[in-house]
Amino acid sequence: MTTASSPARRHPEIPTQERGGAVGEASLQLSRIRRIGRKLFDVANCIITLGNMPPAVREGENAMSAAETGFCYDVSAADELIVVTDAKNHASLGQHAAVAGSPHIRFYASHPVYNEDRTLAGSVCLIDYAPRPIFREGDRHLLADLAALVERELELRSVNASQLDLQKKNKNLRRKSLIDPLIGTWNRGAIMRILTIEAIRCDKAGVPLSLIVADLDYFKRINDTYGHPAGDAVLVKVASKLRSCIRPQEALGRYGGEEFLIVLPGSSHSTAMVVAERMRLAIASQPEMIGGATLSLTISAGVASTDVFPTATTEELISRADMALYAAKDAGRNRIVKATPDLS
């Protein structure tokens, strides 16, 4: 199908406009549908309107494109096919600035586009600068098919948005299932999984893996004296201080009631001892105020590393660190002990 054309009628591709319930980035698929519409009907432009408000003029968009888009949004979307063979002679459209003046639109046709719930979403519009006396029944069917493609894209977008929302919710749920609800660190299951993954990774990379098992000293006394809410508050503060002592690639998890497991991939035994001592000082150097009382807190910790126990499994490393922790407790608490082969 061909029509008389004006030298000014062709212009660069403009991104699809999306407004109303479909606000978002320009859709590549809708842009393709517009290109099909221009080629199929040999018109100056095919515009998809969604919602009631036209988009802001984009940087680099020419005045003709903006005028065409504004015109299509000015002609309110209707729930039926509209064909105006010569807008200049139309009772109402003939008064529009884009018809009476530049860019002198003459032909206009639109087909409604519906949302999945069959509410009116917008329209597919055809624009040209020469009147088109004939718009055959086949043309009407093709325009309806074009509108159906747009509806399909909106439906897919809605499904994709729902899927993304569901994935986000599932991701949040999975994360929540891995986080200790009180202190916000990894829980026991998560920190053990991290330890297993890091052990495999470090073994393949040929680098050491160290871990620290730290325990808050005299925690039962805090609970008995000040109550469990005070004890919970202490754990939250202790966890925060311990977290501040490690790097992003290292992991802190709650291993037991007041016991923490810290995984240090790539760290040697000596480096892990430095980290553990940093943690001890962070806790001991600043008393905490709980319920009006000043509490001097301390931790004891055991450190184990694959550069001392090269064949140890993760369970064996934890066991070695536990033995070192018990040794620290027996030696008077508020200290760090390194696991060695002769420690039992």
Task: Using CB atoms within 10 Å of the CB of residue 90, give its burial: 0 to 12 exposed, 13 to 18 middle, 19+ buried.
Answer: middle
Answer yes or no: 258 catalytic: yes
User: Rg (Cα) of the chain, in Å, rounded?
Assistant: 35
179 φ, ψ (degrees, to nearest 5): -105, 135
Of 120, 160, 153, 124, residue with least CA distance to 27? 153
Helix, strand, coil percentages for the chain (3-state, nearest 5): 45, 20, 35
- Both ends of the chain: CA-CA distance in Å? 91
Distances (CA, A) of 25 to 15, 16, 157: 9, 9, 12
* Residue 203 near residue 309 (C-beta atoms within 8 A): no
Cis geometry, peptide bond prior to residue 208 (ω within 30 degrees of 0): no
Residues 242, 243, 246, 252, Cα dihedral to 10°? 90
Catalytic residue (one of 153, 198, 258, 259): 258
* Residue 129 near residue 44 (C-beta atoms within 8 A): yes
Q: 328 in helix, strand or coil?
A: helix
* Residue 271 near residue 336 (C-beta atoms within 8 A): no
Distances (CA, A) of 170 to 163, 182, 192, 306: 10, 21, 21, 36
Structure tokens at 294: 């000043």
DSSP H or E run through 127: strand 120-128
Give the catalytic positions in this structure. 258
